[in-house]
Chains A and B, each alone.
Chain A
Amino acid sequence: MNMAIRVFLLLLIIFSSIFPTLCIYEDQVGHMDWHQQYIGKVKHAVFHTQKAARKRVIVSTEENVVASLDLRRGEIFWRHVLGPNDVIDAIDIALGKYVITLSSGGTILRAWNLPDGQMMWESILSGATPSNSLLSIPTNLKIGKDDVVFVYGSGCLYAVASIDGEVIWKKELTSEGGNIQQLIYPDGTDIIYAVVLVGLAQFDAYQINVKTGELLKHSSRVFPAGFSGDLSFITSDIAVTLDTTGSVLVAVHFQGGAISFHQTHVSELDRDFSGAAVMLPTKLPGMFALEINKSIVFIKVTNEGKLEVVDTFGRSTAVTESLYLSEGQQAFGLVQQGDGEIILTVKRGDDWKSNLLQETIQMDYQRGIAHKVFVNTYARTDRSNGFRVLIVMEDHSLFLLQQGEIVWSREDGLASVTDVIASELPVEKDGVSVAKVEHNLFEWLKGHLLKLKGTLMIATPDDIAAIQKMRLQSSEKSKMTRDHNGFRKLLIVLTRAGKLFALHTGDGRIVWSLLLDSLRKSETCQNPRGLSLHQWQDPHHHVLDENPSVLVVGRCDHSTDSPGVLSIVDTYTGQERNRMGPAHSITRVIPLPFTDSVEQRLHLLLDVNLQARLYPRTTEALDIFLRELGNIYWYSADVDKGILKGHAVQKNCILEIADSYCFNTRDLWSIVLPSESEKIIATVTRDLNEAVHTQAKVTSDQEVMYKYISKNLLFLATVSPKAVGPTGSVTPEESWLVVYVIDTVTGRILHHMAHHGSQGPVQAVFSENWVVYHYFNLKAHRYEMSVIEIYDQSRLDNKDILKLLLGKHNLTSPITAYSRPEVIIKSQSYFFTHSVKTLAVTSTAKGITSKQLLLGTIGDQVLALDKRFLDPRRTINPTQAEKEEGIIPLTDSLPIIPQSYVTHALKVEGLRGITTVPAKLESTTLVFAYGVDLFFTRLAPSRTYDSLTEDFSYALLLITIVGLVIAIFVTWVWSEKKELKEKWR
């Protein structure tokens, strides 16, 4: 036993000395990393203010987050991110202590404890037919002893006990594919009404016994003209809808089981009416809202069933649900858009004329219009009603307004980052820094003295706290200028709301934000969304007179042939410099490796007709492009058909209006994958900007292997069509994964390999001359990671040292893919414990530093794994020389070293992507991980070998030098004196 422990300890010591650990000390957290938590665009909000010590609002969002926010400051009390397919349909509060969420199309009902967010119970409500979902929590209804939650989902109505999630009764309601529109429970009765629309033409009303689920009465009536779909419930027995043409309003009375229709033509209400009206989903007392002629019309239903237009507003008006005030009255809020301000009105349900509240609040134009409004009331000291209003703006930000003031705001647009690009900061101008340094000289010295104290371990706890604070608030790191090491940069992020943010890498603050007009909903662009970001201009030679800029590519609708929009945004100022479109469709953006005289990068934009358009549209760019025309190729991967095609740019396209910037393309080659056995699931290419230091790899025995480094390589992964589904849906025999490495200029397949019994999803990363990919091995029931390395065999002939000495070799002359270089492939596979959401690789300025893979784990953390572990030259027993070279003995699985979690104790909830940006310091790379949360840190894969650590005590160094100089002087004087004495003796 004793021996075993010794051996174990020995092994532990050996292992800990072999693998370079990246861990940081506890007090270094937050020093060079930052973490921001978001929730996303709020869909539903439920206030919990009654009898609660900590007033809070429960929200569910489009990022499938359910969260409890502090109403005073907007901070997150607790938060749960549900899976990407677990869309939240409804939330409510039951029993005053549970938050009930209904998700996944009405099939999963969960209860969360209100104070701390722990899950109390979960019920899976499985049903046969997919349908809409409803959640209704009656206030005072008990079945037996239990409070009840009514849930409608998958065609069934359930009564669920809110204390433990037990299903009390279940009633299948719709056999013909209808949807329940509303559940109405009049207080104090035993009947619940369910209103169902079947096939848009039949109106059904069910009466169900709340205690047993027994169907009491069913009445049905067909409306021949058909409904448009949305019902507005005015009272408990009147609903209003539109017919299919959108021009006739139908009021449905369904009191006591008898259904009657009353039709009113919209033109009777609005003389200028033309086209189709749209019913807006509102829940207002005795009222509903229609969108007619781009304005919102509020229509009141009188007791006699007559319709009356009450008021008309502009289109960008958001309305709240009705709110019960203390005296049994109802109120609702309205938010109208002004110029740089919003007008908030709270009205009483029964009295349109008078306002309970009207406030004008200044609102940044960059926030767009109000999308959603939630209102809550509180009792003021004078017993009148005060109102607090939660507003969701167009850029997904969240505001709480109270007494005409913005109490707090949250930038929740940052929860839906779709693309990231890094940009440099302005260069520091002369004359600014010097004064600052002199001003802070005393502070600087004091700081270093404190640090010295810390190093010598004579610091008091207060000093340690001061050191920690100083580290975190270092003004250096949040400066708005470039630094020597290149750590300070701007991260330009594009969000799903079509807003651009510039985040400072030092502390993560928002430097500027811009709601792109080209990505806002307009007449010409109905459903715009941003696709990608590209570096448009990155000045190096013109740093002082040109600002860098990014290209934002967007599309007006979901289909591939919808028109595209382009914007060019200055990254220093955050101003839109140029805008194009809506123009031709955009299916692909190809940044070309050429820049013009002001360092604008040339881009080729491909449309759905395979026509290529050159940007920027200048004659200079055109000249450069035409000069290089013969060497520009592109390829397209058609996932549906399983075809990979190579194209060349040909000549100008024939259009109605001549366009010299538009080019036709011709097909060069195609690879047709058999559709019955292979389906494309992943393609990966190298990063265009990746720096590679050398083409040679020197092995331990002084031999050279030449890396096959080409920017035109494509890694393609296909699976058998049956294996496209989730893991476990196929047997190992009918599932296989085939990987290809293809040269996209010639269409040559350099390598292909089949992994039998393996399945996707495949995550891959391509860097230098290697690809690493992650997949699932069904036979071994484990995840696997494989590496492919490509070496150029044809360069090995250069063996004569004399020739190399004289420079007479062909190792530096440009090569063409048509020379068909002979390559050899080395490959190896390993087991890996985690499933991986995303894969990235570190990138450094010169490409000298060794690489690390960054794995976004299923637990929403980022794990760094040395590339050395994925080296096809690993063997079980490496020779001494190979060990010296750093080859690790082969093991069947890759180790997970807990210290190498880049995110240390934090989680990047809903992790979607990892971006790495090289710093100017060769050893260091900047890592930005985004999902619902944002996380940024610096990594040094081979440690910071080219700089002193930030903890380095300059004061200690200075004192040592000064001490030594003094010592030298003193001893010199002594020796002089002694010598003199000797001479006089």
Chain B
Amino acid sequence: MDKGKAVMGSGRRWAVEFTDNSTSNSSRDIPDPPGFTRASYDPDDSAGSKQKKDAEANWKAQKAWEVAQAPFKNLFMMGFMMWMSGSTVHLFSIGITFSALWQPINALRGVGKVFEPYKDNRVDLLAPKLVFIALNLVGLGLGIWKLNTLGLLPTHVSDWVSSLPPVQEVEYSGGGIPFY
């Protein structure tokens, strides 16, 4: 739907949206052809099809949970990598740390997209989403913790005063042994 609008907005004269499955026709200028009802798009009359739908919803929920738990495995992987990279600042550890930071951030940004395929009226996606977010936040925390162990976070006094210039002195004194 978004895509269609974007395409329409980008200056094309006309477009035919074959995959358009919106139920309301109020936004449409052209009336639907006679005999065509949008509501009858889903053939949900038979009980067999309803059962099928339930199964699909179950399957979707299951899948959503699987997706939500995916970062957990990742977490272990990341932890292992971090442990391998050691606590000194070098290319490998920096790379690992930044990927550990980047992955959760990226995942958090795309939460909606990740759960898009499993979107269903009957499936409650809130719980998997929350788990997903929580796990990613744990991953992010792990990354920050790693950053801190590398000493790259300004949490010490030294990080704030290390470049302070010497203070000015009020008095000035000179002199010494006289010229001989």
Q: Which A residues are closer than 8 A to B by beta carbons?
A: 531-532, 555, 560, 586-588, 590-593, 604, 606, 628, 631-637, 639, 646-647, 680, 683, 685, 688, 692-696, 698, 702-704, 707, 709-712, 714, 744-745, 798-799, 801, 804-805, 811-817, 884
Instruction: State whether the Cβ of B172 lies closer than 8 Å to any Cβ in chain A.
Output: yes
A-B contact pairs, 10 of them (CB 8 A): A531-B179, A587-B179, A588-B175, A590-B174, A632-B172, A695-B165, A712-B173, A801-B156, A815-B167, A816-B170
CB pair B171–A587 under 8 Å, yes or no, is: no
Contact with A along B162-180 (1 / 0, CB 8 A): 1111111111111111111
Cα-based distance from A637 to B95 in the complex (angstroms): 60
CB of A811 within 8 A of CB of B164, answer: yes
Q: Using a CB-CB cutoff of 8 Å, which residues 35-56 of chain B contact chain A?
A: none
- Kindly identify which residue among B157, B167, B170 contacts A798, using a CB–CB cutoff of 8 Å: B157
Q: What DSSP secondary structure best describes chain B's contact surface?
A: loop
Residues of A within 8 A of B160 (CB): 801, 804-805
Q: How many A-B residue pairs have CB under 8 A?
A: 137
Chain B residues lying within 8 Å of A633, measured Cβ to Cβ, are 171-173
A424 to B161, CA, bound (A): 34
Q: Mark B115-144, 1 if CB is under 8 A from A, else 0.
A: 000000000000000000000000000000
14 further A-B contacts with Cβ under 8 Å, apart from A586-B179, A631-B170, A694-B162, are A631-B171, A632-B172, A694-B163, A694-B166, A709-B166, A710-B169, A711-B172, A712-B171, A712-B173, A714-B176, A745-B173, A804-B157, A815-B167, A817-B170
The closest CB in chain A to the CB of B161 belongs to A696
Q: How far is the CA of A739 from the CA of B179 in the complex (A)?
A: 22
- Complex contacts, A812 vs chain B, CB 8 Å: 164-165, 167
- How long is the Cα–Cα vector from A221 to B145 in the complex, in angstroms? 104
| Minimum Cβ distance to chain A for residue B30 (Å) | 37
Q: Is B4 an interface residue (CB 8 A)?
A: no
Does B22 touch A at the CB level, under 8 Å?
Answer: no
Partner of A635 from B158, B164, B175, B180 at Cβ < 8 Å: B175
Question: Which listed residue (A560, A683, A694, A814) contacts B176, Cβ 8 A?
Answer: A683
Chain A residues with Cβ below 8 Å from B88 are: 884
Q: Is the CB of B179 within 8 A of A695?
A: no
Query: Distance in Å from the Cβ of B93 to the closest Cβ of chain A?
Result: 14
Q: Does chain A have a CB within 8 A of B155?
A: yes
Closest 10 A/B residue pairs (Cβ): A590-B174, A587-B178, A804-B160, A633-B173, A634-B175, A698-B158, A702-B156, A744-B173, A814-B168, A712-B173
Q: Choose among B161, B169, B173 the residue with the greatest number of A CB atoms under 10 Å from its CB.
A: B173
Residue of B nearest to A586 (CB): B179
**Which residues of B sit under 8 angstroms from A646, Cβ to Cβ?**
173
CB closest residue in chain B, given A637: B177
* Beta-carbon nearest neighbor of A688 in chain B: B174
Tell me, yes or no, whether B112 is within 8 Å of chain A by CB.
no
Chain B residues with CB under 8 A of A555 = 179
A634 contacts which chain B residues (CB < 8 A)?
Answer: 173-175
| Complex: A693 Cα to B164 Cα, angstroms | 8
A588-B178, A683-B177 as given contacts; A798 in contact with B172, CB under 8 Å = no
Contact of B177 among A631, A632, A639 (CB under 8 A): A639
Contacts of B172 in A (CB 8 A): 592-593, 628, 631-633, 711-712
Closest A-chain residue to B178, C-beta based?
Answer: A587
> Would you call B177 and A712 a contact (CB within 8 A)?
no
Are B164 and A712 in contact (CB-based, < 8 A)? no
- State A637–B176 Cα separation when bound (angstroms): 5
> Separation in Å of the B165 CB from the closest CB of chain A?
7
A696 touches B158 (CB 8 A): yes
**CA A714 to CA B177, docked complex, whole Å:** 11
Cα distance, A299 to B92, chains bound together (Å): 95
Are B162 and A696 in contact, CB atoms less than 8 angstroms apart? yes
> Complex: how many Å from CA A388 to CA B144?
86
Nearest chain-B residue to A712 (Cβ)? Answer: B173
Residue in chain A with minimal CB distance to B174: A590
- By beta carbon, the residue of chain A nearest B179 is A531
* Nearest CB of chain B from residue A690's CB, rounded to whole Å: 10
Return the chain B residue nearest A564 by Cβ. B179
Q: Give the residues in chain A near B180, CB-CB below 8 Å.
A: 560
In chain B, what residue has the closest Cβ to A634? B175
Q: Are A588 and B157 in contact (CB under 8 A)?
A: no
A593 to B170, CA, bound (A): 11
